[in-house]
Structure 1
Amino acid sequence: MEMEDWIESMRGGELVVIDEAGRSTVSQGQGGDLLDTENLTESITVEGYMLINQGRVSSEGQETDVSDVGVEDLTDGFIMVADESRVSEGLDTHKAKGEALLTTELAGQGFDKNREMIWSWLMKDEVSSIGIYGMGGVGKSSLATHIHNQLLQRPTSFKHVLWITVSQDFSISKLQYLIANAINLNLSNEDDEKKRAAKLYKALVAKGKSVLILDDLWNHFHLEKVGIPVEVNMCKLILTTRSLEVCRRMGCQERIKVELLTKEEAWTLFKEKLGHDAALSPEVEQMAKLVAAECACLPLGIITMAGSMRGVDDLYEWRNALTELKQSEVRPHDMEPEVFHILRFSYMRLNDSALQQCLLYCAFFPEGFTMDREDLIGYLIDEGIIQPMKSRQAEFDKGQAMLNNLENACLLQSYIRKENYRCFKMHDLIRDMALQKLRENSPIMVEVRERLKELPGKDEWKEDLVRVSLMENRLKEIPSSCSPMCPKLSTLFLNSNIELEMIADSFFKHLQGLKVLNLSSTAIPKLPGSFSDLVNLTALYLRRCEKLRHIPSLAKLRELRKLDLRYTALEELPQGMEMLSNLRYLNLHGNNLKELPAGILPNLSCLKFLSINREMGFFKTERVEEMACLKSLETLRYQFCDLSDFKKYLKSPDVSQPLITYFFLIGQLGVDPTMDYLLYMTPEEVFYKEVLLNNCNIGEKGRFLELPEDVSALSIGRCHDARSLCDVSPFKHAPSLKSFVMWECDRIECLVSKSESSPEIFERLESLYLKTLKNFFVLITREGSATPPLQSNSTFAHLKSLTIGACPSMKNLFSLDLLPNLKNLEVIEVDDCHKMEEIIAIEEEEEGTMVKDSNRSSNRNTVTNLSKLRALKLSNLPELKSIFQGVVICGSLQEILVVNCPELKRIPLFDPVLGIGQIPLRRIQAYPKEWWERVEWGNSNSKNVLQPLCVLQEALYY
Structure 2
Amino acid sequence: MQAEVRLLDLVGAMEDLKAMRNSVLREIELQEGKGKQRTQKVQAWLDKVVVMDQCTNQLVIDFSRCCVTGFCSLNIYSRLNASRKATKLKKEIDELMKEKNHLSVLAKRRPSNPVIDMPMSTTNVGIMIGSNLRIVCDCLADKTFGMIGIYGMGGIGKTTLMKEIERSIDDWNMGFDYVIYVRASYEHHVEDLRDCIAEQLSLCEPIETIFKFLKYKNFLLLLDDLWEELDITVLGIPDPHDNSVITTLYKHKVVFTTRSKQVCDSMRADKKIKLECLDKDEGWQLFKENLAMNLEGIPSLEEVAKEVANLCGGLPLALIMVGRAMPNQTWVAKWNLMLDQLQGRLFSSLCDSMLLYLRSSYDSLAHETLQQCFLCFCLWPKRKLILIEDLIKCWLGFGLIYYFDSISEAYMHGCYIIKVLEEASLVITHDNRTVVEVHEVIHDMAQWIASRAEGDHKAWFVKQNIIFEQLSSEEMETWIQLERVSIINCDMNSLPELQRQCPNLLSLSIQHNQRLENLPKIFLRQMPNLTYLNLSSTGIDELPTEITHLFNLEFLDISHTRIKSLPHELGNLKKLKCLLCGYLFLGKLQAGLLSNLCNLQVLDLYPYGCVEPKELETLRGFKSIGMCASSNEILRQLSDSPIVNINIQEIEGLQTLQFSSLTSEGHGWPKEFQIRSCTTIQNLVITHGTKISLKFLRLFDLPKLGSFIWRIEPKEVLPVLQLVQIEECHSLTSLHWVLHLPLLRALFLKNCDAMEELVNGEVGEIEEEDDVITTFPKLKYLTILGLPKLVKISHCALDFPHLSEVHLEGCPSLKRLPFKPGIVNNRGLLVKCEKKWWEKLEWDDAIVPSQFCSNSTEDEEIANFFGIFPIHVFFHFSFSFGFVCAANESIFLSFVCSWWCSSTWS
TM-score, normalized by length of structure 1?
0.46
**TM-score if structure 2 supplies the norm length?**
0.48
Task: State which structure, 1 or 2, has the greater radius of gyration over its C-alpha atoms.
Answer: 2
